[in-house]
Amino acid sequence: MSKLFKKGRLIGVTSLIASTAILLTACQDPQQTGSGGGDGEEGGNGGVAEDDLRAGEDVTSIPIDGQEISDGGRLVVAVNTEPGTLDPTFNGTMQMRQVAEPYCEKLYDLDDEGGVVPMLATDMPEFSDDGLTVNISVRTGIQFADGSEFDAEAVAISLRRHFEEPESVRASEMGPIESIEAVDEETVEITYERPFAPVAAIFADRAGMIMSPDALEELGENFGDDPVCVGAFRVVEHVPQTGVTLEADPNYYDADNVYLDEIEFRVITDGSIRTANLQSGDVHIAAPIAAQDMDEIVGDENLNAMQTASLGNHYFQVNIGNQNGIGTDPVQIETPIAENPEIRRAFSMAIDRGALVDSVFDGWYDVACSPIAPNTPFATEASDDCHEYDPEAAMELLEEQGVDIPIDVEMMINNQPENVRFAQALQAQVEQSGFNLSIVPVEGTTLVEAQREGDYETAFQFFSGRIDPQANVNNYLETGAASNFSGYSNDEVDELLQAAAATPDTDERAELYGQAISMIHEDNPIVYLYRMRNLLGLSSDIAGVTYYSDGLVRVSHAAFVEDGD
């Protein structure tokens, strides 16, 4: 072979890089800091609410409000992960809820304040006096996308499938159900073994999605191949890893208020590329927007931004007694951080949550100290309480425990870039108080498996959050619960949590959860760190979109406006 060059010419390479640098620097934004707690206020139109957005105010709706709309059109929504099977009974992913929003309505839905409202049901659930029987009245005279009739029998068939199929991932969240029957055309009666409070909230999620009995009959467990529900749109095509295409459903009961012809959900995993696609106009909505890109979206006059405080949380978890995996009895692990709650408290005090959120997420996320989001009806003073950041006191507390300082702690994390960045910041912070935190990034499935099997010392993980606190609190902290990866067990906490789950009254439940969380703040099996905000960017010519605390962008009634500002 031969020489490459006769003479050198590196200038070409260098100048290309330099020009890219200049080009990019030109669109640099000034740095912005500041964090705040979302307080449940509803925002105004996107774009105008720039300061509100920065201050953490929710912007949950961009209404059409009499603007001139152009009928029809194809809306492209960029989402971050593949939804998985489109069958609500068998799907364990979060993304499926997003994709299902236009094609599969639920018995209940959320409203802009985090409350639950009827959707395919006509009223809130009616509890019998002993709390064991619940009646849900449902719509009649409407049709599934295949034209078949919707009635209480169809609802009962779907609910039974969610509950009884051996592979169903819905069954465990549906509570201690004994039977599900349609008592007449418009009433479904559910009986429980024990009183179970979160009925409406559960049916505002995937367990409340109702499938066409005809389609179920035909496709059986392959319902996900061609799902048929009640919805403004119906599924045309699903290409795994790529997206889902939907078209307007003429059989929909509220078809008059549906304007788009088609919706495409496009999977774009990388955050900055999602943003780039939004800016280039290749997609109309991007959800979620990475916190680091939010300033740029807010500053772009062709784009609007929306945000809501989320229900989930990112947490630091200590393996206290999970030696043999979930489903086995807790056995105390004999390391200082597992045995001594004071060490865990010192860890919590060593964390400046506000500074972390400001530097890693440019202030777009909120600090979290408990599994109950402050903007929900279940928040109390006790649940909002937090260990004060005090690195010196944390160090002193640690010294009092008679352990070698620095104390070595191994933290397993999901290897997503955002998590890795946060973990490094956390590592630097707790180092000040005598914690030598080493980071072990593993890929997502490995982390979940390690948590389940108890093969970890501590972990940094997140929970996407549910409407009802039962899923957010009981499931993680009650002895033997499915997600109690810490192997934490405290009889008093168990009693409080069980009482809370069985109490229908919201205020009473909130009070009980508050008491439980005060005890958690003593034991600290889980140290809560921050709460993502649901961040969304959309083109300014889109209206009729809502975005609530479950982080789903509701696009069923979206439209292109003629004169986008």
Partner 1 sequence: MGRFLLTRLWQSAITLVLASIVIFLGIRLLPGDPATAMAGEDASPEQLAAVRAELGLDDPLFMQYMAYMGQVLTGDLGRSTMHGNPVIDMIGATLPVTLLLATYAMVIAVVFGLLLGVLAERQRGRWPEWFANGAALIGLSVPNFWLGIMAILTLAVGLSLFPASGYVPFRTDPLRALYHLTLPAIILGASVMAVIMRQTRASMLETMQADFVRTARAKGLSRIRVLLRYGLRNSLIVVVTIVGLQLGMLISGTVVTEQIFALPGFGRLILDAVFTRDYPVIQSAVLVVTFGYVVINLIVDVLYSVINPKIRVGGGR
Partner 2 sequence: MTVVESGHDLGSNRGQIWKSLRSSTLGMVGAGILMLMAAAAILAPLVAPHPPTHVNFGLSYQPPLTRGYVLGTDDLGRDILSRMLYGIRVSLQVGVLSVAIAVVVGVPLGLLAGYWRWLDGIISRLTDLMLAFPFLILAVGLAAINGPSLNNAVIALGVAQIPIMLRVVRGETLRIKASDFVTSAEAMNASGLRIMGQHVLPNCTSAIIVQATVIIPVVVIGEALLSFLGIGVQPPTPSLGIMLSDAQQYISQSPTAAIFPGTAIVLICLGFNLFGDALRDALDPSNANT
Partners of 81 in the β-ladder: none
Instruction: Check residue 440 for interaction with partner 2 (CB under 8 A).
Output: yes
Residue 93 binds which of partner 1, partner 2, none (CB < 5-8 A, kind-dependent): partner 1
Q: What is the DSSP letter of 4?
A: S
Instruction: Check residue 359 for interaction with partner 2 (CB under 8 A).
Output: yes
Smallest distance from partner 2 to CB 8, Å: 5
Handedness of CA 296, 299, 302, 303 (dihedral sign): positive
- The whole-angstrom distance between residue 379's C-alpha and the CA centroid of its chain comes to 18
Q: Which of 23, 564, 28, 30 is nearest to 302 (CA)?
A: 564
Residue 200 CA to residue 116 CA, distance in Å, equals 7
Q: What is the DSSP letter of 224?
A: G
The only residue of 189, 205, 293, 494 in contact with partner 2, by rule CB under 8 A: 293
Q: Which of 141, 170, 254, 163 is nearest to 554 (CA)?
A: 254
The only residue of 79, 138, 318, 360 in contact with partner 2, by rule CB under 8 A: 360
The only residue of 122, 416, 464, 479 in contact with partner 2, by rule CB under 8 A: 416
With contact defined as beta carbons under 8 Å apart, do 531 and 357 qualify?
no
One-letter-per-residue 3-state SS of 156-199? HHHHHHHHHCCCCCCHHHHCCEEEEEEEECCEEEEEECCCCCCH
Residue 238 binds which of partner 1, partner 2, none (CB < 5-8 A, kind-dependent): partner 1
Instruction: Check residue 4 for interaction with partner 2 (CB under 8 A).
Output: yes
Smallest distance from partner 2 to CB 530, Å: 15
Residue 468 binds which of partner 2, partner 1, none (CB < 5-8 A, kind-dependent): none
Instruction: Check residue 439 for interaction with partner 2 (CB under 8 A).
Output: yes
Smallest distance from partner 2 to CB 388, Å: 18
Smallest distance from partner 1 to CB 362, Å: 19
Residue 90 binds which of partner 1, partner 2, none (CB < 5-8 A, kind-dependent): partner 1
Smallest distance from partner 1 to CB 334, Å: 24
Six-digit token string for 120? 């395919």
For the CA atoms of 547, 552, 557, 560, the dihedral, rounded to the nearest 10 degrees, stands at: 70
Smallest distance from partner 1 to CB 346, Å: 29
Residue 447 CA to residue 456 CA, distance in Å, equals 9
Residue 424 binds which of partner 1, partner 2, none (CB < 5-8 A, kind-dependent): partner 2
Residue 514 binds which of partner 2, partner 1, none (CB < 5-8 A, kind-dependent): none
Smallest distance from partner 1 to CB 388, Å: 31
The Cβ-side half-sphere exposure at 111, using a 13 Å CA radius, reads: 9
What residue type is 267 in one-letter code? V
Residue 66 binds which of partner 1, partner 2, none (CB < 5-8 A, kind-dependent): none
Residue 460 CA to residue 475 CA, distance in Å, equals 17
Positions in the binding site for partner 2 (CB under 8 A): 1-5, 7-8, 10, 13, 17, 20-21, 24-25, 27-29, 31, 270-272, 275, 290, 292-293, 295-296, 355, 358-360, 362, 415-418, 420-421, 423-425, 427-429, 439-443, 445-446
